[in-house]
Chains A and B, each alone.
Chain A
Amino acid sequence: GNSVTQMEGPVTLSEEAFLTINCTYTATGYPSLFWYVQYPGEGLQLLLKATKADDKGSNKGFEATYRKETTSFHLEKGSVQVSDSAVYFCALGVYNNNDMRFGAGTRLTVKP
């Protein structure tokens, strides 16, 4: 079945450090890939997405490239800020939102 595996947290970084959160997937068909972010006390919100191989999603300085050859969609940011502290979820869907699969989430804490 379809599934997503993302690196376990928590991840603690200093401000301006480089961030990578790994995400790999298993899917039948051709999935779309998503990163959602959950700030403290809030629901999830879409951060970025990519719908086909080699697409790069980007938003708020975050980037992720859909790599079919390595079945990966790693999240990166060149210089994190304290305000980036949140839980990040990798997700995939193949046909519709009803078959969306979310990773377990990675908690990021950025210290000043």
Chain B
Amino acid sequence: SQTIHQWPATLVQPVGSPLSLECTVEGTSNPNLYWYRQAAGRGLQLLFYSVGIGQISSEVPQNLSASRPQDRQFILSSKKLLLSDSGFYLCAWSVEGGLDTQYFGPGTRLTVL
């Protein structure tokens, strides 16, 4: 069966510090991968998606970046965090292509102080 992992589960970082959140998927190959942010009281905002190794598409301009160094690994990064980066970050995967169910990880709660 497929599983998706995210870490860390919670993170408190000062403004201006770097960020690295990791997501890995097991039990599937060539998944589409997604990073979402869920701000308090708001829905999900798609930040990045990837259809393959090294292929990243950004949905919104921001000071975050994403990378996919391996088929089942997706990393969300920032060089300098802003207060507005606080939120709940969710990684998700789906089968390649088309419109299908997305499977979400447990999320990372990021607080920037």
Contacts and interface: CB of A to CB of B under 8 A. Distances in A.
Interface of A: 4, 32, 34, 36, 41-46, 49, 89, 93-98, 100, 102-105
B52 interface: no
Contacts of A32: 99
B57 A98 contact: yes
Interface in B78-113: 90, 92, 94, 97-107
A102 B102 contact: no
B101 A46 contact: yes
A100 B34 CA distance: 11
What's the interface size class on B, roughly? 20 to 34
Contact of B98 (A41, A49, A96): A96
| For the complex of A and B, 5 pairs with smallest distance between CB atoms | A43-B104, A102-B44, A104-B43, A102-B43, A44-B104
Contacts of B49: 97-98
A102 B103 CA distance: 14
Contacts of A45: 103-104
A62 B106 CA distance: 23
Nearest to B107: A43
A97 B49 CA distance: 9
B106 A97 contact: no
Contacts of B32: 97-98
Given A42-B107, A43-B106, A97-B32, A104 B101 contact: no
B46 interface: yes
